[in-house]
Structure 1
Amino acid sequence: MNPSLKQLRYFVALAETGGFGRAAEIVHVTQPALSQQIKELETILGVELVERLPRGVRLTRAGREVLERSRRIMAEVADLERAARMTRGLSGRLRLGVIPTVAPYLLPLALTRLRARDLTLDIRVREAQTEALLADLEAGRIDAMVAALPVAEPNLAVTPLITDRFVLAGTPGRLARWAEGRSALRPDALAPDQLLLLDEGHCLADQALEVCGLRGRGRVDLGASSLATLTGLVAEGFGLTLLPEIALRAETAAAPGLALRRFADPEPARELALIRRAGGDDGWVAPLAALLGEAGAELLDSARAVCA
């Protein structure tokens, strides 16, 4: 007898939650039913997969090996299901991941275009940081993700979408003082104590440090969990920050006291792309990338109207 996909799915849930009760909730079965399936899986494989502890479980050496292979199998099954759903191009169910510094701005326009193209398209969106989305992509929990390049993971296919430039944001007075006496505005002239960043883990914060040539954050670190919070802080005079062009239309409307200045050429920027597992296109990637690119281009046009 061979292990079943159900048993592998139950085992992955158990390994990821560390307990039978929580795992049973995730896979929507009773705890005894899940426990029985795990025992059957251990019998089939002839090894003990988990050590039963008073408060949860711990994977054995064999269990860690089986977990790694189970995840690969489940990812391949998810990829098979995705390919079957999208044999007619961009149709069926689409599971899209988007990083937080893109999602609030790009998704409203992009989803409107997707709905206009096909009202029957079942769209599922997950907003999370790049590292979490890459894990979801590898596990087959999402079909594709929109994020900033570069991504270091292998076996990925990348379709460029837009070049999203950064502008300097702050109060009019603070921007004027910072620019005074400078013939050209360059990000590497910003000091760490002037720059407010998103919380650690956001790729935009790392990119801001990189383009400014900074090795770390300043003494006053008001790291925010969203660009909206960051913009509000800056508009009240708490410092300066870098904002991507796609956010300008929304954030300037929400913070009327915010002033913006463009940097001298070459302007710092990030490259946004549609990222997926390599292979298995089946005609859905090109139309999806085109729709996302059109939505991004509209945001860039509006950004230049806000900050010429």
Structure 2
Amino acid sequence: MDISSVGLRVLQQIAESGSFTAAATRLGYTQSAVSRQAAALERNAGATLFERRPDGVRLTPAGLTLLRHARTILDSVAAAERDLTGTSPQTELVRLGAFLSAGAVLLPAALKRLATTDPHITVTTREGTTPSLIRALRAGSIDLAVLTSRPPHRPPDGESPPLHVETVEDTELVVAASSTGEFAGRTTVHVDELVDAAWIATPSSSSEPLLGVWPGLPGRPRIVHSARDWLTKLHLVAGGFGVTTLPSRLSPVLPPGVSLLHVEGAPPEVRRILVARLPGHPHPAVTAVTRAIKSPA
């Protein structure tokens, strides 16, 4: 089987991004070049590696098998390049992905602990949605991922073998409102009072549900502002331009003018924070980073 490292990188990027177009953008190739590499991979492997679906491209079982080997091969190629150029790192690198709000509280605390307990480990971070981080983990682009889960807390994906997942903590979902607005001076709000509220939400996609609106809210929510950045959303809340939901663990970093409200008249909404990695025996550096993330503040 004659497969180049370029072809394996294309396979890895398609697995992570879920489309030929996105893979081409990340690699700096044309879409036609990625399509040719994909076709050559399938021809040389003698198997169908990609499943073209309306919502994108997914790897077939044969593609996932090749991906597992691709991670090992590409890591070995990178190590060989470092040895040949004399640039072998003096520290151990762990590539960590985290969902969008984890960077405000969880990551700084974990990295501070790690700097004390394991200063020889260097962590690079990237943020993304839980679905995109799972794809990156499967593709080998990151070593560890901090994810969120909703009840009933099913496995992060349906791929085999299952990811190794550990629970960090459970956190309650609350509503952030202006301290001087309609709900000023209150610590609770009834769900019926939120039906006509102006909401500040994160844009949704086919793979990620609408974030920022109370789950199960009766009727269609009135979304007045849409933003991915948490700081933007919270400052809009402080200015009295709407309300949004957020995990209660973000309370230490709220800007002035924002109050948190517990929702009554509806079941509690709890989000589980998880740390996930590929199955198998982890590298000691990955174990150390996991330990730092799970350690209580």
TM-score of the aligned structures, taking structure 2 as reference length: 0.68
**Equivalent in the alignment of 2:84:** none
How far apart, CA to CA, are the structure 1 residues paired with 2:24 and 2:202? 36
**Equivalent in the alignment of 1:94:** 94
Q: Deviations for 1:62-106, whole angstroms, at most 9, x for unmatched residues? A: xx99987455423344268889x9xxxxx8221111011212322
**Equivalent in the alignment of 2:225:** 222
1:146 aligns with 2:173: no
* Residue among 159, 167, 170 paired with 2:166: 159
Give SS of 1:199's match. Answer: coil
| Inter-CA distance 229–7: structure 2 relative to 1 (3 Å threshold) | closer
**Equivalent in the alignment of 1:241:** 244
Asked if the contact 1:197/1:222 (under 8 Å) is kept, the reply is yes
Q: Which amino acid aligns with 1:143?
A: D
Once the two structures are TM-superposed, the CA of residue 237 in structure 1 deviates from its matched residue by 1.0
**Equivalent in the alignment of 1:4:** 3
Q: What 5-or-longer segments of structure 1 have no aligned partner?
A: 50-58, 86-90, 299-308
How far apart, CA to CA, are the structure 2 residues paired with 1:282 and 1:189? 50
How far apart, CA to CA, are the structure 2 residues paired with 1:65 and 1:257? 45
How far apart, CA to CA, are the structure 2 residues paired with 1:203 and 1:20? 20
Give SS of 2:141's match. Answer: coil
**Equivalent in the alignment of 1:54:** none
How far apart, CA to CA, are the structure 2 residues paired with 1:20 and 1:102? 26
How far apart, CA to CA, are the structure 2 residues paired with 1:279 and 1:78? 14
**Equivalent in the alignment of 2:85:** none
Give SS of 1:174's match. Answer: coil
Structure with bigger gyration radius:
1
Q: What 5-or-longer segments of structure 2 have no aligned partner?
A: 80-90
Asked if the contact 1:130/1:147 (under 8 Å) is kept, the reply is yes
**Equivalent in the alignment of 1:303:** none
**Equivalent in the alignment of 1:122:** 122
| Inter-CA distance 187–121: structure 2 relative to 1 (3 Å threshold) | farther
Q: Which amino acid aligns with 1:106?
A: L
1:74 aligns with 2:81: no
| Inter-CA distance 68–158: structure 2 relative to 1 (3 Å threshold) | closer
How far apart, CA to CA, are the structure 1 residues paired with 2:261 and 2:23? 55
**Equivalent in the alignment of 1:289:** 290
Q: Which amino acid aligns with 1:185?
A: T
How far apart, CA to CA, are the structure 2 residues paired with 1:205 and 1:96? 24
Q: Which amino acid aligns with 1:124?
A: T
Give SS of 2:188's match. Answer: coil
How far apart, CA to CA, are the structure 2 residues paired with 1:37 and 1:220? 43
| Inter-CA distance 272–35: structure 2 relative to 1 (3 Å threshold) | closer
RMSD, aligned CA: 4.5
**Equivalent in the alignment of 2:214:** 209
| Inter-CA distance 20–281: structure 2 relative to 1 (3 Å threshold) | closer
1:105 aligns with 2:105: yes
**Equivalent in the alignment of 1:268:** 269
How far apart, CA to CA, are the structure 2 residues paired with 1:20 and 1:279? 27
How many residue pairs end up in the alignment? 263
Give SS of 1:153's match. Answer: coil
Once the two structures are TM-superposed, the CA of residue 170 in structure 1 deviates from its matched residue by 1.5
How far apart, CA to CA, are the structure 1 residues paired with 2:36 and 2:176? 58
How far apart, CA to CA, are the structure 1 residues paired with 2:234 and 2:64? 40
Once the two structures are TM-superposed, the CA of residue 133 in structure 1 deviates from its matched residue by 0.7
Give the number of the structure whose residues are more often strand, by fraction.
2
Could you tell which deviates more after superposition, 157-166 or 217-226? Answer: 217-226
Q: State the percentage of identical aligned residues.
A: 22
Give SS of 2:201's match. Answer: coil
Give SS of 1:233's match. Answer: helix
| Inter-CA distance 6–114: structure 2 relative to 1 (3 Å threshold) | same
1:199 aligns with 2:203: yes
TM-score of the aligned structures, taking structure 1 as reference length: 0.66
Give SS of 1:176's match. Answer: coil
